[in-house]
Amino acid sequence: MSQSATPSSAAETDVQAQRAHLDAFLTAAIRAAHPDLCLPAHLPPPSPGRLIILAAGKAAGSMSAVASRFYRQEHGLGDDRIVGLAVARHGYGQEAPGIRMVEAGHPVPDQAGIDATEEVLRLAEAAGPEDEVLVLLSGGGSANWIAPAGDLTLAEKQGITRAILRSGAPIGEFNTVRKHISRIKGGRLARAARNARSVLTLAISDVPFDDPAVIASGPTVPDPSTLADAREICQRRNIPLPEAAQRLLNDPNNESPKPGDPLFANSSYRIIARPQDALDAAAAAAKAAGYEPVMLGSDLEGEAREVATAHAAEAKRYQAEGRRVALISGGELTVTIRGEGHGGPNQEYALALALALDGTPGISGISADTDGTDGGRGLATDPAGGLIDPTTLARARAAGLDPAAMLEQNDSTAFFAAIGDLVNPGPTCTNVNDCRIILVG
């Protein structure tokens, strides 16, 4: 502290320094998982026939652009050899020569997703014995590749999606249900491409424990979940099902392909980026800035507000020990919606963290989805999360806000918007789940 600095101005300087560090560490985490860095080394040499590239998810545009550039520049392939279709969330598309780009709804699917998915299935079914199918997957693929089975309509599928979102179901349960009312999920894309020379899936994981059967609802891998599992989830979480969905979940002929099915004989799968990779990058940046990185886990699940309360207690414990640490965690938290507000799990976590810390000096935190959007209304401009510091609650109350009441109303977006602390990087064109960082000291 300089001789002219006052205690209050020194504290304010410390807060601003922590906020700058949080922003930098989050940026490092997101950058580590971008396809520009993680995809090229995994792209195989082209087959003698066509290269059929099928991509889905929030990184579908960026992955397709990298793949198209690689095969054109490194192997000289032209439009006669590269065909494909990429489906990404609205606002996440990128130009990829030879690969048609479609933007579709997320998290609630839309007609653009249905139309594109029908074409994806046609391309897969047309693959011949000299063709290689390259599947590029990332989080969000479950909503982007939408092919309702049986007589299920888009409106009915949208209703089921909204009900599961409101229930607070973790992603594994969510995708178990989706896989059993779909014609592409749960290994069914591999079935469509069974005549291809090979099917290679390269995936950016956005799910706890990096389970290929859960990433984008596992369209190219065996499905260990069952119709009975899907029925149990819907019953336990009180998910209303239209008659068409009930028929699908009660029809043994609608069971998804299981491990050991020969249709997967020509399929291989590789994860090219994981949530842990992003957290490791954040930890390295924190260490370089003088913080001791402490990993709280890359696969955390649970109610956002409950996890936030536990993490606040951890932060206070480290502060009491006089340690300068960066508490880092990932995974996918959930929100059981009871109020009428707006906000995703990262914003709810940040608001609950602020309340639990109650202005404790020297502790700041950030929570954001690495894909650039957290909950929201399906727009590319939706916020990714929220940032808190020791002044958060005081500034909010000075603005006439009631933080506790807004948390009860699940209204975290309005809270952070009012005090200017939304984290809003825009589309990041990757997705390795949540990144939460708490700085102590």
As a three-state string, the secondary structure of 34-61 is CHHHHCHHHCCCCCCCCEEEEEECCCHH
With CA atoms as reference, report the closest residue to 231 among 164, 158, 300, 180: 180
Q: pLDDT (tens digit, 9 = 90+) per residue, 215-274?
A: 999 999 999 999 999 999 999 999 999 999 999 999 999 999 999 999 999 999 999 999
Predicted local distance difference test score (pLDDT) of residue 12: 87
Residue with tokens 């599947």: 135
- Mean pLDDT within 123-136: 97
Q: What is the mean pLDDT of residues 115-131?
A: 97
The rounded percent of the chain whose pLDDT value lies above 90 is: 92
State pTM to two decimals. Answer: 0.90
Token reading at 96: 């990829």
pLDDT score of 73: 95
Q: How many CB atoms neighbour CB 80 within 10 A? A: 8
Q: What is the mean pLDDT of the chain?
A: 95
The whole-number pLDDT of residue 283 equals 98
Nearest to 242 by CA among 175, 167, 106, 148: 148
Which residues make beta-bridge pairs with 388? Answer: 365
Main-chain dihedrals φ then ψ at residue 6, nearest 5 degrees: -95, 160
pLDDT score, position 2: 30
Q: Is the pLDDT of residue 3 over 80?
A: no
At 8, the pLDDT band (50, 70, 90 cuts) reads: low
Instruction: Report whether 136 contacts 204 (CB < 8 A).
Output: no
The 10s digit of each residue's pLDDT in 211-230 is: 999 999 999 999 999 999 99
Q: What is the 3-state secondary structure (H, E, C) of 262-294?
A: HHHCCEEEEEEECHHHHHHHHHHHHHHCCCEEE
Judged by DSSP in three states, 390 sits in coil
In whole angstroms, give the CA distance from residue 375 to residue 372: 10
